[in-house]
Amino acid sequence: MAVIHHTVLKPTKLELLTSWLPSRPWYRGGAGEPKLAKAGGFRLDDPQGEVGIEFIVVTDASGPHLITYLVPLTYRGAPLDRAEHALVGTMEHGVLGQRWAYDGCQDPVLVAQLLALIEGRVQAQDQNISDVPDREVVASYTSEGSISTDVTVTDDQEGTGLTTPHGTTLRLHRVLQPAPDGPFPPPQGATGHVSGSWQLPNGSRARGVFAVLHTGTRA
């Protein structure tokens, strides 16, 4: 179980993301600096208790239209080997000391736990309270067998794809779109998905798809 410390971070997570988001191919803001606000998210537990895993939802009000981003992050007490390209930044944690924050899609610990969530082997946790499940995060998996954690990560203008050697692809929606009101069916043609909710500036809540799994053909 991850212990969530309510303490000071310097710089804050939003400050790190303000610098990092414009470098992403799926970022849709303008030329100016993002104007970010936290809108929600959830956590997953690292079985070894070493890596913090958080899926942050932020809204950006810098452009003519509000844009909502999904940003998976991992927090480590030491640099991740051969992951300099995935470093979002470092920050000083009031309890744990220096922490290295990484793009979670590039961190094997987050990838393994996200796939375990889809397979139903782990449960999403509340973003802000220790040892409390997040019931608003829903995952499904209709195929058989375990999903390989050996993935190639590709960022493009539409989001992030995690693809296995057998062609199974987990697609993360970096730019979130609210689903229509009413029943929320799994994405058509998908063998798995993760959906969740976030808060809108007017105080209401939106729900949408965070990630979609399409299973390839095994060799």
Q: What is the mean pLDDT of the chain?
A: 91
On whether residue 140 sits in a domain, the answer given is: yes
Q: What pLDDT, on a 0 to 100 scale, did the predictor assign at position 183?
A: 59
On whether residue 133 sits in a domain, the answer given is: yes
Q: What pLDDT, on a 0 to 100 scale, did the predictor assign at position 7?
A: 63
- Gap between the Cα atoms of 145 and 119, Å rounded: 9
On whether residue 1 sits in a domain, the answer given is: no
Q: What percent of the chain has pLDDT over 70?
A: 92
On whether residue 136 sits in a domain, the answer given is: yes
On whether residue 3 sits in a domain, the answer given is: no
On whether residue 2 sits in a domain, the answer given is: no
- Residues 175-217 have pLDDT tens digits of 999 987 765 666 778 999 999 999 998 899 999 999 999 987 5
Of the chain, the end-to-end C-alpha distance in Å amounts to: 36
Q: 59 versus 5: which is more confidently predicted?
A: 59
Residue 1 in contact with residue 131, Cβ under 8 Å?
yes
**What is the chain's length?**
219
Q: What pLDDT, on a 0 to 100 scale, did the predictor assign at position 6?
A: 62
What's the number of domains the chain is made of? 1
Average pLDDT (146-171) is 96
On whether residue 14 sits in a domain, the answer given is: yes
- Residues 61-106 have pLDDT tens digits of 998 899 999 999 999 999 999 999 999 999 997 677 799 999 999 9
What contacts 24+ positions apart, CB below 8 Å, involve 49-52? Answer: 49/1, 49/2, 50/76, 50/77, 50/109, 51/75, 51/76, 51/107, 51/109, 51/110, 52/2, 52/76, 52/99
- Residues 19-37 have pLDDT tens digits of 999 999 999 987 789 999 9
On whether residue 4 sits in a domain, the answer given is: no
User: What number of other Cβ atoms are within 10 A of residue 22's Cβ?
Assistant: 16
Asked if residue 15 has pLDDT above 60, the reply is: yes
- Gap between the Cα atoms of 184 and 105, Å rounded: 26
Residue-range definition of the domain harbouring residue 198: 9-214
